[in-house]
């Protein structure tokens, strides 16, 4: 990652973390507390060739910043790091026949709708699953929490998908 790309990425991190903290955290749909977690897009869209250590470190600090703002005790950081850890395996499983082009990011424009929908739904669902069960820290209301995971994942996916047309178009 060049210094120019790194500075651009830091700008995106700042934008999405502030958007999450000041806008999206105040959106609660239904009594279940369905809140979209758009900051996951920062992990979703990291370029393919990003070293694993940088991916994990970025995910940790992104999640930690949300944890500090929400006082969630590390649940966002843990979920983000878990997603960053599983991301290479997921990318390997859903890789196109020809592999990934060097210098590209996993965006809707570069990879196509079918691939992007599959990839982002998997990442968002895993993130939300880990976060929700860490936050609840119990399996007593397993099906209630699973429904919440599904609804928040779908709501987050819709916003991530729309952002590809509004923010990340070139």
Domains of the chain in start order, with CATH, are 3-166 (1.10.1760)
In whole angstroms, how far apart are CA 55 and each of 60, 101, 153?
9, 18, 22
Helix axes 75-93, 52-70, angle to 10 degrees: 150
Q: Give CA–CA dist 75/64, Å, rounded.
A: 9
User: pLDDT at position 169, please?
Assistant: 58
User: pLDDT at position 158, please?
Assistant: 95
Q: Give CA–CA dist 124/122, Å, rounded.
A: 6
Sign of the Cα torsion 134, 140, 86, 165 reads negative
Mean pLDDT by 10 residues, the chain (170 residues): 75 89 82 86 90 94 94 94 97 89 86 95 98 89 93 95 79
In degrees and rounded to multiples of 5, residue 67 shows phi and psi of -60, -45
Q: Give CA–CA dist 41/163, Å, rounded.
A: 9
First to last CA, the chain: 20
User: pLDDT at position 127, please?
Assistant: 98
Which residues are CB-contacts of 61 (< 8 A; sequence separation ≥ 6)? none
Largest CA distance in the chain: 48
Please state whether the predicted TM-score (pTM) of the whole model is above 0.95: no
């Amino acid at each position: 990652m060049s210094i120019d790309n790194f500075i651009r990425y830091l700008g995106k991190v700042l934008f999405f973390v502030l958007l999450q903290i000041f806008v999206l955290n105040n959106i609660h749909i239904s009594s279940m507390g369905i809140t979209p977690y758009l900051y996951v897009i920062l992990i979703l869209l990291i370029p393919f060739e990003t070293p694993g250590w940088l991916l994990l470190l970025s995910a940790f600090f992104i999640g930690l910043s949300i944890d500090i703002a929400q006082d969630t005790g590390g649940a966002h950081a843990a979920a983000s790091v878990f997603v960053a850890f599983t991301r290479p395996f997921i990318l390997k499983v859903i890789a196109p026949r020809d592999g990934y082009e060097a210098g590209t990011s996993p965006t809707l424009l570069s990879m196509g709708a079918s691939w992007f929908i599959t990839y982002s739904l998997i990442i968002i669902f895993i993130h939300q699953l880990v976060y929700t069960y860490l936050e609840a820290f119990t399996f007593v209301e397993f099906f209630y929490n699973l429904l919440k995971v599904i609804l928040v994942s779908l709501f987050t996916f819709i916003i991530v998908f729309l952002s590809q047309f509004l923010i990340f178009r070139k």
